[in-house]
Amino acid sequence: MRDYDQSLWLQTSRERVAAQTLSGDLTVDLAVIGGGYTGCSAALAAAQSGASVCLLEAHQIGHGGSGRNVGLVNAGLWLPPDEIRLHLGQAVGDRLIALLAKAPSEVFELIDAHGIACEPVRKGTLHCAHSASGYGDLCTRHAQLSTSGAPVELLDATTSRQRTGSPAVHGALFDPRAGTIQPLAYAVGLACAAQDAGAQICIQSPVRSLRKDNEGWVLRVNGGTVRAKSVIQATNAYHQDIAITAPDYVPVYYFQYATAPLSHNLRASILPQGEGCWDTGLIMTSFRLDQEGRFIVGGMGNLSHAGGFAHKAWVRRKLATLYPQLADQPLIEGWHGRIAMTSDHIPKITQIGPNALAAHGFSGRGIGPGTVFGRLMAESLLNGDPSLLPVPPVPEYSENWTGLRHVFFETGAALTHFIKARF
């Protein structure tokens, strides 16, 4: 059976980290569980502050959602600003909006500062209207974002079709703050930077248990023990083994397919200014080019699910709709990743114990928010200052009917793609 966990990014990443499995015992100021954007950002910030740090990844760096991401470095969350304020209140909402507005700058500055070879392109993103009603949604978002100080630009259908090269776009919202990266390479590059700053990066080192004693936290790893004053759990949708701190979320799968590298003539007609894109569809579509000119299209769905055939058939149809000139382009086999979705689409920070925090629920917006959340969680714990956190921590967080809602999302995505692949 095809392994849909093996992404294109594994083949094309030029970043490598010289990490080993943890052996023996270790005592540190901060233990970080999880080697994605949040965990690697936390380890880097802590090590740069002079703290002793150990990052523990159960597989390889970027194994989870970070290594299967679309690679869009967006500002903010999926929600428009007014909805964020509605859920969090004015003061907390304004703070989170302001922090995440600067998230792309933080990401690209880290890439520059540490020479991370992750194909960074900061040409903005286009949130594309898939229909006339979708354009109405973009008008609302534009008004709210502009009021909040975001330098976004609303583009009409004609301009959007010129910018994308696609006849299927009904308008777009351009955000110049954003861009694209090779997502796995960015995660690995953060781990390398953390290692250079003094952090110990450990792969193939799953944490089997986590407990608090009178001296601090005790983590059992590969038969050894890590003692830490503070802990950050950054496992998101790929949590394993530690049942008592498992994050509660709705698991949603997102898949991608890529063409072979396009010819120069084809590349010139598709996204000529280099933006990354996603659309306003209820079952969202993303599309972009990578550095080698592969066209990458993605949508919601589990390729290993019974409806996987519908997702695969939809890709070919979607290619022809977006760019008729790509209808016959060969496709590289697809891959998918798991997203931790919260009901309100706002990330959560949970206080899992004294001097111990967990973050999850980026709802598909992992790159910028994960980078910011990881850094601020590390700074908060090392300084003993909860006010530094991007959102107030909660003692616990639960979701209702997560299994049923997962089935609902997956079934809806499969049916949508089945219908659109046929008609």
Residue 1 in domain = no
Examine residue 331 and state whether it is found in any structural domain, yes or no. yes
Could you give the percent of the chain with pLDDT greater than 90? 87
Instruction: Let me know if 206 is exposed, middle or buried by CB neighbors in 10 A (0-12, 13-18, 19+).
Output: middle
Q: Report yes or no: 297 and 322 within 8 Å, Cβ to Cβ.
A: yes
**Domain boundaries, position 288:** 8-422
135 SS3 class: helix
Q: Which residues of the chain have pLDDT under 50?
A: 423
Put the strands of the sheet holding 331-341 in their side by side order: 153-155, 172-175, 125-128, 276-279, 285-289, 295-300, 250-259, 331-341
Place of tokens 């989870």: 64
Q: What DSSP designation does 394 have?
A: B
Q: What is the pLDDT of residue 421?
A: 56
> What CA–CA distance (Å, rounded) separates 388 from 385?
6
State pTM to two decimals.
0.96
Looking at the 3D structure of the chain, how many domains does it have?
A: 1
pLDDT for position 417: 84
pLDDT score at 12: 96
Q: Domain for residue 102, yes or no?
A: yes
**Rounded Cα–Cα distance for residues 341 and 351 (Å):** 19
Query: Can you tell me the distance from the alpha carbon of 181 to that of 35, in angstroms, rounded to the nearest whole number?
Result: 18
Bridge partners for 296 per DSSP: 258, 288
Instruction: For strands 250-259 and 224-233, give the pairing.
Output: unpaired
State how far the Cα of 197 lies from the Cα of 42, in Å rounded to an integer: 12
Q: Any bridge partners for residue 337, and if so which?
A: 254
Continuous H helices in 128-182: 132-147, 157-164
Q: Which residues face 230 on adjacent strands? A: 30
3 lies in some domain? no
What gap in Å lies between CA 288 and CA 70, rounded to an integer? Answer: 8
The answer as to whether 329 is a domain residue is: yes
CATH number, domain at 239? 3.50.50.60
